[in-house]
Protein backbone atom coordinates (compact mmCIF):
# COMPACT_ATOMS: atom_id res chain seq x y z
CA UNK A 1 0.00 0.00 0.00
CA UNK A 2 3.03 2.27 -0.05
CA UNK A 3 2.12 3.06 -3.66
CA UNK A 4 -0.70 5.28 -2.36
CA UNK A 5 2.00 7.70 -1.23
CA UNK A 6 2.51 8.38 -4.94
CA UNK A 7 -1.00 9.92 -5.02
CA UNK A 8 -2.41 8.07 -8.02
CA UNK A 9 -5.39 9.59 -9.83
CA UNK A 10 -6.89 6.22 -10.66
CA UNK A 11 -6.51 2.60 -9.53
CA UNK A 12 -7.84 -0.47 -11.34
CA UNK A 13 -8.48 -3.56 -9.21
CA UNK A 14 -9.71 -7.05 -9.93
CA UNK A 15 -12.24 -8.57 -7.56
CA UNK A 16 -10.46 -11.92 -7.08
CA UNK A 17 -6.78 -12.46 -6.27
CA UNK A 18 -6.16 -16.19 -6.64
CA UNK A 19 -2.75 -17.54 -5.74
CA UNK A 20 -1.68 -14.15 -4.52
CA UNK A 21 0.90 -13.86 -1.76
CA UNK A 22 -0.61 -10.53 -0.75
CA UNK A 23 -2.17 -10.01 2.66
CA UNK A 24 -5.41 -9.25 0.83
CA UNK A 25 -7.64 -11.92 -0.68
CA UNK A 26 -10.00 -9.72 -2.66
CA UNK A 27 -10.31 -6.35 -4.31
CA UNK A 28 -12.94 -5.49 -1.71
CA UNK A 29 -10.40 -5.72 1.10
CA UNK A 30 -7.93 -3.63 -0.88
CA UNK A 31 -10.59 -1.03 -1.72
CA UNK A 32 -11.39 -0.62 1.98
CA UNK A 33 -7.71 0.01 2.74
CA UNK A 34 -7.35 2.41 -0.19
CA UNK A 35 -10.33 4.46 0.98
CA UNK A 36 -8.93 4.62 4.52
CA UNK A 37 -5.68 6.08 3.19
CA UNK A 38 -6.97 8.20 0.30
CA UNK A 39 -10.72 8.60 0.00
CA UNK A 40 -10.47 10.80 -3.09
CA UNK A 41 -8.67 8.36 -5.41
CA UNK A 42 -10.87 6.90 -8.14
CA UNK A 43 -11.03 3.10 -8.19
CA UNK A 44 -12.37 0.94 -11.02
CA UNK A 45 -13.24 -2.67 -10.22
CA UNK A 46 -13.05 -5.49 -12.75
CA UNK A 47 -14.89 -8.74 -12.07
CA UNK A 48 -16.10 -11.83 -13.88
CA UNK A 49 -18.73 -12.24 -11.14
CA UNK A 50 -22.14 -11.01 -12.26
CA UNK A 51 -23.63 -10.36 -8.85
CA UNK A 52 -25.53 -7.16 -8.09
CA UNK A 53 -24.88 -7.56 -4.35
CA UNK A 54 -21.10 -7.64 -4.92
CA UNK A 55 -21.34 -4.69 -7.30
CA UNK A 56 -23.44 -2.70 -4.80
CA UNK A 57 -20.99 -3.41 -2.01
CA UNK A 58 -18.06 -2.08 -4.03
CA UNK A 59 -19.95 1.03 -5.07
CA UNK A 60 -21.14 1.70 -1.51
CA UNK A 61 -17.57 1.53 -0.21
CA UNK A 62 -16.40 4.03 -2.81
CA UNK A 63 -15.54 2.34 -6.09
CA UNK A 64 -15.99 4.74 -8.99
CA UNK A 65 -17.06 2.08 -11.47
CA UNK A 66 -17.65 -1.67 -11.56
CA UNK A 67 -17.02 -3.40 -14.89
CA UNK A 68 -18.14 -6.96 -15.48
CA UNK A 69 -15.60 -8.92 -17.48
CA UNK A 70 -17.09 -10.12 -20.73
CA UNK A 71 -16.04 -10.14 -24.37
CA UNK A 72 -16.20 -6.33 -24.47
CA UNK A 73 -14.94 -5.25 -21.05
CA UNK A 74 -11.69 -3.88 -22.50
CA UNK A 75 -13.72 -1.53 -24.68
CA UNK A 76 -15.70 -0.35 -21.66
CA UNK A 77 -12.52 0.10 -19.65
CA UNK A 78 -10.88 2.11 -22.44
CA UNK A 79 -13.95 4.39 -22.69
CA UNK A 80 -13.87 5.02 -18.95
CA UNK A 81 -10.13 5.72 -19.04
CA UNK A 82 -10.67 8.18 -21.89
CA UNK A 83 -13.40 9.91 -19.85
CA UNK A 84 -11.27 10.05 -16.72
CA UNK A 85 -8.20 11.43 -18.46
CA UNK A 86 -10.28 14.05 -20.30
CA UNK A 87 -11.44 15.52 -16.95
Whole-structure pTM value? 0.83
> How sure is the predictor about 19, in pLDDT bands with cuts at 50, 70 and 90?
low
pLDDT value, residue 66: 95
CA 40/CA 21 separation, integer angstroms: 27
Averaged pLDDT, 52-74: 94
> How many CA atoms are closer than 13 Å to the CA of 35, on its beta-carbon side?
15
What kind of fold does domain 2-86 have according to CATH?
Rossmann fold (3.40.50)
> How sure is the predictor about 9, in pLDDT bands with cuts at 50, 70 and 90?
confident
* E strand map for the chain: 10-14, 42-47, 65-68
Amino acid sequence: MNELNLSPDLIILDHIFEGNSSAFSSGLEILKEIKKKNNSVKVIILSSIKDEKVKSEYLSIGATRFIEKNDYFIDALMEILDEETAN
